[in-house]
């Protein structure tokens, strides 16, 4: 039996990982070790570890990397959390020695876990590599995780080719498609009426679904980043505004405080720190538009056929579809983008947008492919192994370069 340790640190990434976790748990020849960290364990960010427990998934460890940070500088708090994460994950991996560590995404919690695993010579499998996001430190974190990983599951052909150009061997790069697409295909979404009864917000009336995270490479503070969107929302009381909380990046607490204050002053709003994947996707399907700078606007919204207003540079560089309206982070630009998003012609175009995130093997769901490829990797590749940089040519024995 092979042991696979899976790391989750946020509500969004857990919602994507869930089908993979369920498949791994059902495998008779795989021992799943689920490691929970980051915002999942923070009351400020919804204590979403409870959602994982409600799903019946067994937790192998809860590694709290946020609790003891007292830094007044949010960026320094991230440094401290990362350092603590490397130490905690290093100790856990050393004591338990999983055969592989499976991660998704590009956050500092993931960077900490992968750094520890790589230094302990434990192979890493990485979901959602190859993206580019110029406006956030997630960009270089993602690429760093790629270089420490032995197996890759990008979301589309464009990202798969980028990984190969980064020196990853083509036989280790598998375009399985988006796990968000799998959720959209397989979940029985709630109706607007069901959401209204569940969350006490009028999802049956025209509304916008808003998620805005800190832009970690911006020269502007978090309050300065969110202010233009709040001003645009103030100008449009004709729409409801369903708002989900910002993540645990530096500045996230400031943004959430301002969002809560805004909702306290406006009756047509609802702030929810976390909705869970089922309710979030159900709300997305019913929304006039997805607004903010979350990856869900450029990855899940196209697959749902819903318009998305993508604000600022946080997702700059990512593949975007015809349903996405990119705009600079000023109130006039956001208002113009919102007006375009609700135009019937654009709504029709968004509903018929092609989906680039369905993967190379349309007959299998992404989670099926990930588990199958991962099991084959664990059963055939010797560990530890020397990772060879692929430069597009026939590699010499043991990576020797000959002139």
C-alpha of 97 from chain center: 26
How high is the pLDDT of residue 226?
97
pLDDT, tens only, 189-198 = 999 999 999 9
Quick one: pLDDT band at residue 402, thresholds 50, 70, 90? very low
Ordered by where they begin, the domains of the chain are 2-176+361-399 (3.40.50.2000), 188-351 (3.40.50.2000)
Rounded CA separation 100/85 (Å): 18
Per this entry, what is the length of the chain?
403
In the three-class reduction of DSSP (H, G, I as helix; E, B as strand; rest coil), residue 373 is classed as helix
Q: What is the pTM of this model?
A: 0.87
Highest mean pLDDT among 283-292, 314-323, 348-357: 283-292
pLDDT, tens only, 216-256 = 888 999 999 999 999 999 999 999 999 999 998 888 989 99
Three-class SS string for 283-308? HHHHCCEEEECCHHHHCHHHHHCCCE
Rounded CA separation 90/340 (Å): 49
Short-list 102, 106, 15, CA closest to 318: 106
How high is the pLDDT of residue 90?
98
The answer to whether 15 touches 277, Cβ cutoff 8 Å, is yes
Burial (CB count within 10 angstroms: exposed 0-12, middle 13-18, buried 19+), residue 217: middle
Q: Which residue has the higher pLDDT, 81 or 396?
A: 81
pLDDT, tens only, 69-104 = 455 787 888 899 999 999 999 999 999 999 999 999
How high is the pLDDT of residue 386?
84
Rounded CA separation 158/387 (Å): 23
The answer to whether 291 touches 309, Cβ cutoff 8 Å, is yes
Give percent helix, percent strand, percent coil of the chain, each to the nearest 5: 45, 15, 40
């Amino acid at each position: 039996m092979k042991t696979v340790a899976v790391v989750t640190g946020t509500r969004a990434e857990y919602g994507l990982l869930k089908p993979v976790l369920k498949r791994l748990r059902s495998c008779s020849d795989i021992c799943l070790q689920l490691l929970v960290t980051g915002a999942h364990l923070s009351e400020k960010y919804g204590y979403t570890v409870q959602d994982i427990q409600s799903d019946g998934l067994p937790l192998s460890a809860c590694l709290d990397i946020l609790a003891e940070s007292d830094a007044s500088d949010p960026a320094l708090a991230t440094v401290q959390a990362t350092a603590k994460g490397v130490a905690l994950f290093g100790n856990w991996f050393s004591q338990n020695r999983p055969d592989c560590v499976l991660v998704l995404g590009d956050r500092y919690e993931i960077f900490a876990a992968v750094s520890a695993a790589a230094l302990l010579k434990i192979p890493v499998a990485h979901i959602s590599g190859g993206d580019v996001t110029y406006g956030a430190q997630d960009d270089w974190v993602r690429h760093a995780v790629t270089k420490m990983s032995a197996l890759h599951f990008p979301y589309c052909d464009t990202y798969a080719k980028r990984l190969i150009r980064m020196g990853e061997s083509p036989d280790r790069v598998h375009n399985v498609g988006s796990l968000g697409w799998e959720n959209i295909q397989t979940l029985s979404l709630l109706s607007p009426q069901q959401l209204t009864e569940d969350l006490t917000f009028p999802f049956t009336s025209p509304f916008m679904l808003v998620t805005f995270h800190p832009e970690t490479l911006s020269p502007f503070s978090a309050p300065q980043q969110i202010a233009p969107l709040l001003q645009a929302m103030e100008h449009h009381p004709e729409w409801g505004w369903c708002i989900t909380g910002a993540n645990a990046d530096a500045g996230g607490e400031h943004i959430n405080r301002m969002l809560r204050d805004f909702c306290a002053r406006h009756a047509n709003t609802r702030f929810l720190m976390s909705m869970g994947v089922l309710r979030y996707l159900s709300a997305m399907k019913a929304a006039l538009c997805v607004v903010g700078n979350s990856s869900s606007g450029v990855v899940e919204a196209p697959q749902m056929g819903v318009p998305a207003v993508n604000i600022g540079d946080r997702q700059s560089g990512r593949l975007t579809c015809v349903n996405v309206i990119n705009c600079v982070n000023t109130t006039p630009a956001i208002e113009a983008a919102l007006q375009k998003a609700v135009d019937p012609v654009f709504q029709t175009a968004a509903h018929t947008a092609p989906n680039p995130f369905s993967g190379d093997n349309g007959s299998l769901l992404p989670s099926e492919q990930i588990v199958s490829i991962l099991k084959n990797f664990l059963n055939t590749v010797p560990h530890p192994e020397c990772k060879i940089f692929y430069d597009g040519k026939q590699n010499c024995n043991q990576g020797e370069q000959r002139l």
